[in-house]
Amino acid sequence: MRALVTGGSAGLGQSLCARLLADGFHVTNLDRDLPDQASTAEYVRCDLSSRDAVDKALMALTSLDGFDLVIFNAGISATGKFEEIATSSHARIIAVNAEAPISLCAGLMKAGKINNGARVGFVSSLSHFTGYPGAASYAASKDALAVYAKAVRKVWQKQFGIKVTVIFPGPLKTDHAARHAPDGADAEKRMAPNEAAKLILRDIKRGKAHSMPGVAARIFAFLGQIAPKVMTFAMKKLIYSKLDKTVAD
């Protein structure tokens, strides 16, 4: 069995790779950076913000055997006041978080490299369910993945037996989350990426349409749907009002 994980060198992606390897998958990790830890996953370097790099990576991926499980996990962010974030940062977020995974997925499907009966996961964000002041471009890019997945899910399942899962993780205990969190945020309240990876892979293998790892994520999503204005106000108070600097990946 073969698996592909984008952004598999650190954080949630690294945990996904480790668990897939333990499950007996041959794993390909597509990432700009070398893995933080020693891993037997096959590494393909790609800066997902570069159209040329994505096209070259797609050529490399389509030269491999087909994949039985694919997770488009890679993501970057920029936090702060929207108007103070550099235009180039907004463009890079859209390229990495939305354009690259959609292009890679479409290219792999066209080449027949996502096997019939495979599982495909798109890592979106809980911001799909509520406003996210302070990270609007991130929220928009991650929402694009959720919409794309919704559009292809039924067609791919009917024609190819491929099941698509959209993943909505809450805050995780990663370096990425720490960089973008307000000063004084309690990292201990965040879920460990290894635990999130276990729950996400369980849902993907079961073919679930949505994966919200952890009770807190499910509660947040529910509240975002029934009281969107209240949740957006809460996000503003809890995050946006405490951001005193601009941080971009």
Of residues 137 and 69, more confidently modeled:
69
Q: How far is CA 28 from the centre of its chain?
A: 16
- Torsion of Cα atoms, 196 then 199 then 202 then 203, to 10°: -100
Dihedral sign for Cα 165, 170, 173, 174, please. positive
- Tally of CA atoms within 13 A in the half-sphere of 34 that contains its CB: 2
What share of the chain in percent tops pLDDT 90? 62
**How confident is the model over 114-142, as pLDDT tens digits?**
999 999 999 999 888 887 777 889 999 99
Token pair for residue 128? 């799909």
Distance CA 170, CA 247 (A): 19
- Neighbouring CB atoms inside 10 A of 99's CB total 18
| DSSP state letter for 128 | G
- Using left for φ > 0, alpha for ψ between -120 and 50, and beta otherwise, residue 197 falls in alpha
Nearest-CA neighbor of 44 among 16, 63, 19?
A: 63
CA distances from 178 to 36, 183, 198, 236, 247 (A): 16, 9, 21, 18, 11
**How confident is the model over 92-119, as pLDDT tens digits?**
999 999 999 999 999 999 999 999 999 9
Per domain, the residue ranges of the chain are 2-248
What share of the chain in percent tops pLDDT 70? 88
Distance CA 52, CA 57 (A): 9
What is the CATH code for 2-248?
Answer: 3.40.50.720
Looking at residue 236, its pLDDT comes to 66
Looking at residue 186, its pLDDT comes to 56
Does the pLDDT of residue 43 top 90, yes or no? yes
| DSSP state letter for 130 | S
Report the DSSP beta bridge partners of residue 2.
26
CB 94 within 8 A of CB 75: no
Tokens 């965040």 belong to 190
CB 114 within 8 A of CB 164: no
Looking at residue 179, its pLDDT comes to 61
Looking at residue 47, its pLDDT comes to 96
